Structure 1
Amino acid sequence: MGRSRPGRSPAGAGADGTGGQVARSAVSARGRGLTGLWCTNAPVSTIIQNLGLVPYAPTMAAMQAFTDTRTNDTPDEIWVCQHPPTFTQGLAGKADHVLFNPEGPDHIPVVQTNRGGQVTYHGPGQVVAYPLLNLQRRGYFVKEYVYRLEEAIIRTLAHFGVTGHRVAGAPGIYVRLDDPFAHAALSTPADPRDPFKGLGKIAAL
């Protein structure tokens, strides 16, 4: 980790998570407590942007704008943030997967995305990291990239005394639900014949 860089806040990121001029997404966030770290101890430099609590939709739009306008010389970035309460639907998601009325008193938005999977909840206290990497420049194929993400998560968990597990055929990192650091109780004993029983997913990829 080296010198600091000013952070980036998704432009127009209002409390409702709906609006904003994406073209202004690169505006500096000086004075708002958002910082970036310039990592130079890797073969390719990476800027880590700590964005704080930002609405989901403008953040996605800002990342798309960053990707659309970057060049081969643009440093890679990792955006670390939290989102206000939001449900996102993956390509396999269905409307009946969201078991509440999005127009009800809670007004939690449901955002359709182009990621895999089904419905995911985002909310304050849940840290999300978005890698914006040029995989071709780094020489990574997708399978290796996913493996490296998983390994980074496993090592981070180990630093905090939590053991992460891989499950064959199911990208992501899992922790045992009876782990004292987990947020749920293990309701049934682990079954060695079922790799999912007794595990809770902590990292979705």
Structure 2
Amino acid sequence: MKSNIDIKNSSQIIEYSDALNFMEKKVDKILCNEENEMLWFLNHNHIYTCGTSAKKNEILSKTDIPILQTNRGGKTTYHGPGQRVVYFMINLNKRKKDIRKFINIIENSVISLLKEFDIEATTFPERVGIWILKSQGNILPKEKKIGAIGLRIKKWITYHGLSFNINPDLKFYENINACGLNNYSSTSLKDLCINLTNKEFDKMFKKKFFKKISQM
């Protein structure tokens, strides 16, 4: 069964609570066949969000940054300026009801995008997210995380999604065990000497994702 996926590109900072409210309403409308599916590209203000598997010790010290318990899957992560977020309001009833396959599509879309910049990335079964192994021929001493994924499913409609580091201030990751991992650090395209605008990222990711989701 075919379906239309709308694209929403937000250039202004969107507060996390406003985005969550939008997604929840959108999912209900998709369930009722009142509106199309959607990919939403946006940026959030500074916030730490704790998924359904998060533990209290994942935030290492007191902080002025808001902390919010959320209903997405996963552990603790940071959102803020310089990080591009992609929310997927996708109806898996119209495709294969396979959450793992859908997550793989998101992961492989990012990995394919990074490959265009001569950046080698991968995923690990025991570690959530997208990890950089090599950049422009240089092997990293230890892999670093550039993207995180956390989803929630309601009657086979997905929401929440991907956060990808274009050029955020990486110091905000130092106060958390990102995704429950305390021995690994985060990176960004800027950290890897790649300059990319939000608009360029949106265009590239959309192309990769649409190609892969069409096969699901």
Report if TM-score (shorter chain) is over 0.5: yes
Structure 1 position 120 matched with structure 2 position 81: no
1:49 positional shift = 0.7
Tell me if the contact between 2:118 and 2:136 (Cα under 8 Å) persists in the aligned partners.
no
Relative to structure 1, the CA distance from residue 116 to residue 181 in structure 2 (aligned partners, 3 Å threshold; closer, same or farther) is farther
1:204 matched to 2:156: no
Query: 1:64 aligns to what?
Result: 24
Q: Indicate the residue corresponding to 2:108 in structure 1.
A: 151
Q: What SS does the corresponding residue of 2:135 show, helix, strand or coil?
A: coil
Q: What does residue 175 of structure 1 align with?
A: 132
Instruction: Give, in angstroms, the shift of residue 62 of structure 1.
Output: 1.0
Report the structure, 1 or 2, having the larger helix content: 2
Kept in 2: contact 1:44–1:138 (CA 8 A): no
Displacement, 1:181? 10
Say yes or no: does 1:51 pair with 2:5.
no
| Preserved CA contact (<8 Å) 2:29 2:35 | no
Structure 2 distance, partners of 1:180, 1:167, is: 21
Counterpart residue type for residue 83 of structure 1: H
1:91 aligns with 2:48: no
- C-alpha spacing 1:128/1:151, structure 2 compared with 1 (3 Å): same
Equivalent residues, number:
147
Preserved contact between residue 111 and residue 120 of structure 2 (Cα < 8 Å): yes
2:98 counterpart (121, 124, 141): 141
Distance 1:168 1:99 in 2: 25
Can you give the 5+ residue segments of structure 2 that lack an aligned partner in the other structure? 150-216
- Shift in Å at residue 76 of structure 1? 1.1
Q: Deviations over 1:140-184 (max 9, x none)?
A: 4112111111111111112233222122343432112x63699xx
Answering whether residue 128 of structure 2 is matched by residue 161 of structure 1, we say no
Equivalent residue for 2:204? none
CA distance in 1, matches of 2:95, 2:35: 13
- Name the structure 2 match of 1:13: none
Report if the CA contact (8 A) 1:164-1:173 is conserved: yes
- Contact 1:94-1:118 within 8 A present in 2 as well: yes
> What is the CA distance between 1:122 and its match in structure 2?
0.7
Deviation at 1:73, TM superposition (A): 5.5
How much does 1:96 deviate? 3.5
Residue equivalent to 1:100: 61
Larger relative CO (CA 8 A, sep 6+): 1 or 2? 2
Amino acid at match of 1:98: I
Q: Deviations over 1:115-137 (max 9, x none)?
A: 23322111100001011000111
TM-score (norm 1): 0.63
Distance change >3 Å, CA 90–CA 84, structure 1 → 2? same
Give unpaired runs (5+ residues) of structure 1.
1-42, 190-197
- Rg bigger for which structure? 1
Secondary structure of the residue that 2:107 maps to in structure 1?
Answer: helix
> 1:27 maps to which residue?
none
- Give the TM-score normalised by structure 2: 0.60
In 1, Cα distance between the equivalents of 2:5 and 2:40? 10
| Partners of 1:57 and 1:111 within 8 A in 2 | no
CA distance in 1, matches of 2:137, 2:97: 32
